[in-house]
Amino acid sequence: MEPVEILPGDGPIVLGVPHAGFYVPDGIWDRLNDTGRVRADTDWHVDWLYDGLLPGATMVKATFHRYVIDANRDPADVSLYPGQNTTSLCPTTDFDGRPIYHPGQEPDAGEIETRRKAWHAPYHAALAAELDRVKRKHGIAILYDCHSIRSVVPYLFDGTLPDFNTGTNGGVTCAPEIEQAVVDLTRRAEGYTAVLNGRFKGGWTTRHYGRPETGIHAIQMELAQKTHLATEAPPYTYDEAKAERLRGHLKTILRALETLASSLSIKTKTTGGLDHG
């Protein structure tokens, strides 16, 4: 199993999909307990949600499950949310704080580094290469990082999560025009709730690549899974009717970003923005 799948496009948008993969190598699978084998913390069907929405968009998808290693965590395993419950680079608990390994079978530091080299590093090498390719072609690249999570996870946050959770790390990972366009569209989406930089402010991917001054912008979209699943519990069935309604709004967002990319590319050139790569 290759660690990453790339669907290249010729437009300015790159879709990152770090958590929709299912693959767990046998040597890890055999050590997972029944809780771990459910793989409940998958970003269920996020790749389906965005498939074909924007002709020309590039998709970079991790094939491995986040229990192998989390492609949206700092490779140095520094917490993105100090003082709050979260999971680590190589998770040993699920989003409810329950162990996912048989006792004594958790990965040690040496194994974590091996996994980083085998899975995390190739995914980010591919993502960086695609961002660089797109930026060289268009003068700009917009990374839109695609995520989903259960709407109620008491271990991670209080209450019920809004449907659209936009993250820009407080506005530093993308141009204000990008942030504003996405926020406006999510807040106007009838029947949905939305928040900017709430519990999810953008993971390591968004924070690492989002450098607007270089022409690379990044934004994270965390969707509550009730927006596209029949139920947020096994078997995590994709609800076609819910998903099609949601896809209409996602298409509008991506088209707006594509339109913005042209004007921001001109602005970067005329204001002497730094070249990337």
| Interatomic CA distance for residues 132 and 1, integer angstroms | 25
Residue 273, pLDDT score: 43
Residue 266, pLDDT score: 63
Asked if residue 271 has pLDDT above 70, the reply is: no
pLDDT tens string 113-152? 999 999 999 999 999 999 999 999 999 999 999 999 999 9
Question: Is the distance from CB of 216 to CB of 206 less than 8 angstroms?
Answer: no
Token pair 């990453």 is found at 4
Residue 268, pLDDT score: 57
pLDDT tens string 144-201? 999 999 999 999 999 999 999 999 999 999 999 999 999 999 999 999 999 999 999 9
Residue 272, pLDDT score: 41
Question: Is the distance from CB of 17 to CB of 60 less than 8 angstroms?
Answer: yes
Residue 200, pLDDT score: 95
pLDDT tens string 46-72? 999 999 999 999 999 999 999 999 999
Q: Average pLDDT for residues 13-39, to the nearest whole number?
A: 98
Which stretches does DSSP call E strand in the chain?
4-7, 13-17, 58-62, 141-149, 164-167, 194-196, 216-224
83 phi-psi bin (left φ>0, alpha ψ -120 to 50, beta other): left
Q: Which residue has the higher pLDDT, 263 or 160?
A: 160
Residue 275, pLDDT score: 35
Residue 81, pLDDT score: 86
User: pLDDT band at residue 84, thresholds of 50, 70 and 90?
Assistant: confident
Tokens at 274, concatenated: 């730094």
Residue 269, pLDDT score: 52
Q: Which run of H or of E encompasses 207?
A: helix 204-209
Asked if residue 218 has pLDDT above 50, the reply is: yes
The closest alpha carbon to 152, from 39, 231, 65, belongs to 231
Q: Which residue has the higher pLDDT, 263 or 9?
A: 9
Tokens at 277, concatenated: 């790569």
Residue 237, pLDDT score: 98
Question: Is the distance from CB of 135 to CB of 210 less than 8 angstroms?
Answer: no
Tokens at 261, concatenated: 């990319």
Residue 253, pLDDT score: 98
Domain at 4-270, CATH from 3.40.630.40, 3.40.190.170, 3.30.540.10, 3.40.50.150: 3.40.630.40
Q: Average pLDDT for residues 107-112, to the nearest whole number?
A: 98
Q: What percent of the chain has pLDDT over 90?
A: 91
> Which residues sit opposite 101 in a β-bridge?
32
